[in-house]
Structure 1
Amino acid sequence: MSVFDQSSFQCRIEWGRRGAREAAKRGDITIIVDVLSFSSTVVTALHVRAEIFPYPPPVNEKVKAYAHQLGAELMLSRAEAAKMGKHSLSPVTFSDADQGKRFVLCSLNGASCVWIASKVSALFIGCLLNASAVAEAANLIQKQTGANITVIPCGEHWEDPKEDENGLRPAIEDYLGAGAIIENLQGSKSVEAQLCMGAFQYAKSNLNKFIWDCGSGRELRERGFAEDVIYSTAVDVLQVVPILQNDRFVNFVK
C-alpha cells in the first residue's frame, strides 16, 4: 500500500497513465476524463449510436489492420479529417448519420489511459457533457459491489520532454471535468478529490471563459477548432454513459 493511494476514502482522484495503472491495480471503478477531447468525442459518438473501439497510440499499420478487421473507420487527426471530410478526435464531427457505424479511436491521453485500466470491472468515460449521469452510474456500481471509485483526469503531454523530465502536463479542463463528476459521487472523498470538486464549484459560474482561455482551449482555437471548445464546455447536456465492454464502449444500462 502506498502512502499516496488515498486508500481510506471511497472516492479518489489520480492523474494520467500512472494514475490509471494505480486505479487498475486496486480494482477501482474508474472514470476516464479527457474533456478536450477524447471523452467528449466518445460520449457524443455513443449519443448518436455509433460504436467506438479505443486503441492506444501510435497510429501505425497495426491499428490500421485492427480497424480493417472490425470493418471500422480509423479516426484521423483533426487537420487530416477536416481536409477529407472524415471523423476525428472532435465531437462535432459526429451526427445522427453515424448511427450504427464503427470507429477506432486512437489518442495519446484518453485511449492510453483506457488501455491501461481496461481490466477493471467497470471503466466509464466522463466529461462535462455527462458529468451527473456518469457519477450516477458509478454510484450504482459502487453500491452493488462495494468497490471504490477513482476519477482519472488524463492531462496533456509536453512536447519534446527531456529524458529526465515527467512528460505529463496537468490540464485544467480535465481537472474541472473531474470535479464536476466528483461533486455528484457518493461516499467519502479524499482531500485530493474534495479540492478538485472545490475547483469546479469555484469555476462553474464562469466555466466557459475558464476553458476558453486555458492552454488547451487556446491551442484548439488557434488551430481553427473553437467549436470543439464551446461544445465540450456544456455541463450535463447528455445522459449517455460509455462503459468499456469487449474492447468497445457501450451505453451503460441501469
Structure 2
Amino acid sequence: MSDEWFLQTGHGVRFEWGPEGARRVGAHVACLVVVDVLSFTTAVTVAVEAGTAVHPYAWRDATAAAYARRVGARLAVGRREVTERSPWSLSPAALRRAPFTPRLVLPSPNGSAIAAAAGEAATVVAASLRNASAVGAWLARHGYGVRDRPVAVVAAGERWPDGTLRPALEDLLGAGAVVAALRERAPAVTPSPEARTAAAAFTGTPDPAAAVAACASGRELRGGGFPEDVAIATELDAASVVPVLSGGAFSSRPIADRN
C-alpha cells in the first residue's frame, strides 16, 4: 500500500494527528501548523505576546536543561513545580504571571515535540483557539493552501498511559478553527476531506469554549487545579500573534510579513 494515499496529496490544506502524522506529512508540505490547545501552543501565544522567544523541546529532562544553557534560555518547569525562582511553566496562567524572559525552553511531549522534530524542513507555525484567525489570515497572505504550496494542520492530541495517541477534542477544534479561518480568507484553497471535516467540527460546535472546558482534557486540567489554563486556552481569537519557528525558536510574525 502506497504512503501517497495517507499524505492527502492533491490537496492544498491537509489535516493530521500527532507526531507520526506530522512526520509523514511534514516533508511533503510547505508549512506545518501545530495545534496543542491544552497547552503547548496556547502557552506559546502567551509567551510570544510578551516578547519571549520560545524554543520547543520534546522532553523535560537533563538534556532539556543542557539545551537551555546552550541557547541562553530559561527552562520551563512542570505545572506543579512552579516556584518563585522558577516561575515559567507549560501553564499559560503561570506564564502570564511570570517575569519577562527573552528566551524560554518549553518542553512538551505533544505539541512541542512535533514542532522540535519538524525543525526547519517546512515553515512551522504554532496555532491555538486564541490565535486561529490570525494564523488563517497569515497563511492566506502567504499563499498557503493551494496545491503547489500545501499546508498541513496537525492536531497534537494527547497520550494514553501506554504512549499511544489519544485524539483530543480541543485540538480537533483548534485545527478546525485554523482551516475555517483560512478558507474564509482564501476561498480558492483546496482542503482535503480530512481538513474539511476538521473545519466542520469547529464551525458546527455552537460554543467551542464550553466544549473544551467540558471535554476530557479540560476536565482533567480543571480537576487538577488549573481552571485558569482552560479559561485562557478558550479565549477565542484573543491573540493576533503568529508564532513562526525560526532559528530554533518561535517568535511573532506580523500577518503581512514576507517569508
Normalising by structure 2, report the TM-score.
Answer: 0.89
- Listed as ranges, the gaps of 5+ residues in structure 2 are none
Deviation digits for residues 17-65 of structure 1 (CA, Å, limit 9, x no counterpart): 01111222203311000000000000110001112111111x2222111
For residue 177 of structure 1, the aligned residue among 169, 174, 177 is: 174
Query: CA–CA distance in 1 between the matches of 2:241 and 2:32?
Result: 16
3-state DSSP of counterpart to 1:183: helix
Partner residue of 2:66?
Answer: 65
Q: Note if contact 1:13-1:192 (Cα within 8 Å) is conserved in structure 2.
A: yes
Task: Tell me the percent identity.
Answer: 35
Query: CA–CA distance in 1 between the matches of 2:142 and 2:20?
Result: 23
Partner residue of 2:112?
Answer: 111
3-state DSSP of counterpart to 1:86: coil
Query: CA–CA distance in 2 between the matches of 1:148 and 1:98?
Result: 38
Is it true that 1:95 corresponds to 2:104 in the alignment?
A: no
For residue 22 of structure 1, the aligned residue among 16, 21, 24 is: 24
| Deviates most, 229-238 or 111-120 | 111-120
- Whichever residue aligns with residue 90 of structure 2, its letter is L
Tell me the matched-pair count.
247
- Whichever residue aligns with residue 232 of structure 1, its letter is A
- Listed as ranges, the gaps of 5+ residues in structure 1 are 162-166
Deviation digits for residues 73-124 of structure 1 (CA, Å, limit 9, x no counterpart): 1101101116866111111122387445321111000111112222233110
Partner residue of 2:225?
Answer: 224
| Deviates most, 128-137 or 169-178 | 128-137
Query: CA–CA distance in 1 between the matches of 2:49 and 2:177?
Result: 20
Query: CA–CA distance in 1 between the matches of 2:203 and 2:173?
Result: 9
Is it true that 1:50 corresponds to 2:52 in the alignment?
A: yes
Query: CA–CA distance in 1 between the matches of 2:144 and 2:227?
Result: 39
| Gap change, CA 1:222 and 1:144, over 3 Å in 2 | closer
Partner residue of 2:196?
Answer: 194
Deviation digits for residues 192-248 of structure 1 (CA, Å, limit 9, x no counterpart): 111111110111x32222111111001101110011111111111110000000001
Partner residue of 1:155?
Answer: 157
Query: CA–CA distance in 1 between the matches of 2:192 and 2:105?
Result: 35
- Whichever residue aligns with residue 217 of structure 1, its letter is G
Query: CA–CA distance in 1 between the matches of 2:192 and 2:152?
Result: 10
- Whichever residue aligns with residue 208 of structure 2, its letter is L
Partner residue of 2:6?
Answer: 4
| Gap change, CA 1:90 and 1:97, over 3 Å in 2 | closer
Query: CA–CA distance in 2 between the matches of 1:130 and 1:233?
Result: 10
